[in-house]
Amino acid sequence: MRASLSNLVHDCGMIRTQLSQRLCEKAQHFASQLVAKWWDNGSHVGSGHQLLALAAGL
> Which helix (H) or strand (E) element contains residue 17?
helix 2-40
CA atoms lying within 13 Å on the CB side of residue 28: 6
Q: What is the pLDDT along the chain (58 residues), one digit of tens a residue?
A: 677 888 888 888 888 899 899 998 999 999 888 888 877 776 555 556 666 666 776 5
pTM summary value = 0.50
Residue 12 is predicted with a pLDDT of: 85
- At 36 the pLDDT is 83
The domain limits of the chain are 2-57
